[in-house]
Amino acid sequence: MTDRAKRYSSIGVFSFGICIGLVGCAMSLPATFSIGVNDSPLAAIFFVGCFTLFLPFCVIALWKRRPAGVGLISLAIFWVYGLFDQRHYSSVVRHFPPDSISDFLYEISFALLPVALGIFALLTDRAGWPNLIKHEKPLD
């Protein structure tokens, strides 16, 4: 695969991530107004943070893939931890009946996108794919 094809495929993947990040930022605004007593504080912070940080990590991936890949994978870990915390809070503190396992697996499936983008960023960085946006030093 030529450097040009590698660059265009990477731009396509991370542009898709940027579009999803924009949707996540738009979704996080109404989510902040619907957080109530039935939501654990830690889960609320994780959910709003994961939605809003997805976009910056995809933009950072255009320059630095390794930090962006680590950040995207850590977002997925925080998302799953927030889901576990919310389930524990709603069943132990609020005494709600537990949800079905299929609902839980559906919620966890949203964490696959940042994991896939993070793994793509790490693997392409490891393989030495060219940078998407070149950083040139200014002339003195």
Domain containing residue 71: 3-127
Residue 48 belongs to some domain of the structure: yes
Distance CA 40, CA 76 (A): 18
Asked whether residue 105 is domain-assigned, the answer is yes
- Residue 134 domain-assigned? no
pTM score: 0.82
Report the number of distinct structural domains present in the chain.
1
> Would 37 be classed as within a structural domain?
yes
Q: pLDDT by residue for the chain (140 residues), tens digit each? A: 788 888 888 889 989 998 988 888 887 777 667 777 777 888 778 877 887 888 899 999 988 899 999 999 999 998 888 888 888 888 888 778 877 888 888 888 888 999 999 999 999 999 988 877 776 666 65
Q: Decide if 139 is inside a domain.
A: no
Q: In degrees, to the nearest 5, what angle opens at C-alpha 89 toward C-alphas 87 and 92?
A: 100
